[in-house]
Amino acid sequence: MKPNSQLILASESPRRKELLSALGVPFRIVPSGVDEISFPGEAPARFAIRAAMDKGMEVAQKHPFSWVLSADTIVVIDGAILGKPKDRADARRMLSLLEGREHKVYTSLCLLCGERGYRDAGTEVTRVFFRSLARNEIAAYARTGECDDKAGAYAAQGAGMLLIDRIAGSFSNVVGLPMTRVVSMFKKAGLIAASCSGSRFYRFAGGKK
């Protein structure tokens, strides 16, 4: 007998876990061990989709009967990827690059089920406009520590929202998981359906055969 189908989030990000939980669909966390390293000359959008697919495939190979959602989020300015800061000085450098300007946040998604031979992938792009920031504001935000493990050195869902003037596109994408696109991908795969009872928004529908 084949194991029951289930949903896996291939990320240990607490922000992605919280966003995906809004659906009301049960899932478990199985983080990928893939290193997020871009190739020389690789375009940011191409890197994001490759990284998301690599993460998803690594987990899907170990859990072939499950549906695996993987993601990779990057911050891009002037065509360059801003990763996680090495230290607070690096965080201040990144924030100085972003202040008073527009940058883009890319999140690539990959949905896989190895046993069914299913694969779907896509990328969401959000334009983010930072307000002008004084040097002491940049230093103060860096000292909060919120920037330490965040791409681009800020968290839009935390105190980092005070750095942002406006956005064009999905806010949840900036946090790490574009939920409207996730819902669309899940519905296309037959993974979710509106709940008919209880307090949950959606129920797990098992996926297309």
Domain spans, the chain: 7-204
What pTM does this model have?
0.92
- Per-residue pLDDT reduced to its tens digit, 66-122: 999 999 999 999 999 998 899 999 999 999 999 999 999 999 999 999 999 999 999
What DSSP character marks residue 146? T
The mean pLDDT of 116-142, rounded to a whole number, is 97
Q: What is the pLDDT of residue 1?
A: 35
Q: What is the mean pLDDT of residues 19-36?
A: 93
Which CATH code fits 7-204? 3.90.950.10
The three-state secondary structure class of 117 is: coil
Which alpha helices (DSSP H) does 22-112 contain, by range?
44-62, 88-98
Structure tokens at 110: 């990959």
The catalytic residue positions are: 72
Amino acid at 192: I
Whether residue 2 has pLDDT greater than 80 = no
